[in-house]
C-alpha cells in the first residue's frame, strides 16, 4: 500500500514537471519555426555556408544556440525527468528557514528544470533565458550596466539620454587602458599597440 502511494506521488510529480517542460519546449519550437522563415537559415539548411555578414552570423549563432537548448529539454524529458520526480517525492522538510524560502524555491526550480538559467542581475531567479536565444531580444544595455542605473536595464530603449549618461560616467583614460590591455592579447593587433597608445594620448588631451 505504501509503495502504491509513493508511485502515485511520483507519477503526479512527473506529470507536473512534464507539463511545464513541454511548455518550455513549445516556446523553443516556436522560435525555431521563426528562424526557419529567415532566407539565410533556409539557405544554410540546404547547404551549410559561412555567414557573409554580421547579420547572418547573428542569425546562425542564435539559431544554433536555440537548437542546443531544444536538445537539452528533449534530453531532460526523455531521460532525466523521472529521476527528478523520484527525488522530489522523497524530499525531506526544508531547513532553510522562512526568510530563505524564496531562494530555496528558485534553487529547487533549477533542479526541476536544469536547462533553465539565472540571467545577469542581482536576484536569484531561474528562467528560460530567451535573450540568449532570440536575436530580437538582444538588450544593448546589458553590457553597460556598470555605467547607468540598474533599474533602467529592462523595459527601455537605448535612448540618447542613456548614451549621454554612459559617456559621462566612463573614464576616458580607464577606457583606453582597458582597451589596450585587451588588445595585447590579440596577436594580430599586438604589433599595432603604438597606434592605440597615440589614440589614448590624443583623446585624453582632447585633440582627438
Question: Average pLDDT of the chain?
Answer: 81
How many Å apart are CA 40 and CA 55, to the nearest integer? 10
Q: What count of other Cβ atoms lies within 10 Å of the Cβ of residue 103? A: 13
Q: Give the gyration radius of the chain's Cα atoms.
A: 24
| 42 CB-near residues (< 8 Å, 6+ apart) | 36
Q: Full-prediction pTM beyond 0.75? A: no
Looking at residues 167-183, what average pLDDT do you find? 70
How many Å apart are CA 119 and CA 123, to the nearest integer? 9
How many Å apart are CA 121 and CA 153, to the nearest integer? 10
The gap between the terminal CA atoms of the chain, to the nearest Å, is 82
Residue 154 has pLDDT above 70, yes or no: no
Q: By the 8 A CB rule, do 44 and 60 touch?
A: yes
Q: What residue ranges do the domains of the chain occupy?
A: 2-138, 143-204
Percent of the chain with pLDDT over 70: 67
Amino acid at each position: 500500500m505504501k509503495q502504491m502511494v509513493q508511485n502515485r506521488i511520483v507519477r503526479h510529480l512527473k506529470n507536473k514537471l512534464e507539463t511545464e517542460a513541454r511548455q518550455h519546449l513549445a516556446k523553443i519550437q516556436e522560435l525555431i519555426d521563426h528562424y526557419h522563415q529567415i532566407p539565410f537559415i533556409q539557405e544554410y539548411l540546404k547547404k551549410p555556408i559561412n555567414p557573409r555578414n554580421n547579420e547572418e552570423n547573428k542569425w546562425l549563432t542564435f539559431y544554433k544556440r536555440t537548437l542546443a537548448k531544444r536538445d537539452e529539454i528533449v534530453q531532460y524529458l526523455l531521460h532525466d525527468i523521472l529521476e527528478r520526480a523520484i527525488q522530489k517525492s522523497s524530499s525531506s522538510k526544508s531547513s532553510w528557514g522562512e526568510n530563505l524560502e524564496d531562494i530555496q524555491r528558485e534553487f529547487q526550480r533549477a533542479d526541476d528544470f536544469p536547462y533553465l538559467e539565472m540571467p545577469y542581475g542581482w536576484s536569484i531567479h531561474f528562467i528560460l533565458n530567451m535573450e540568449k536565444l532570440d536575436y530580437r531580444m538582444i538588450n544593448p544595455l546589458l553590457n553597460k550596466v556598470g555605467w547607468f542605473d540598474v533599474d533602467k536595464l529592462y523595459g527601455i530603449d537605448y535612448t540618447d539620454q542613456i548614451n549621454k549618461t554612459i559617456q559621462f560616467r566612463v573614464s576616458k583614460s580607464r577606457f583606453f587602458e582597458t582597451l589596450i590591455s585587451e588588445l595585447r592579447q590579440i596577436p594580430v593587433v599586438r604589433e599595432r599597440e603604438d597606434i592605440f597608445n597615440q589614440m589614448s594620448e590624443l583623446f585624453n588631451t582632447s585633440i582627438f
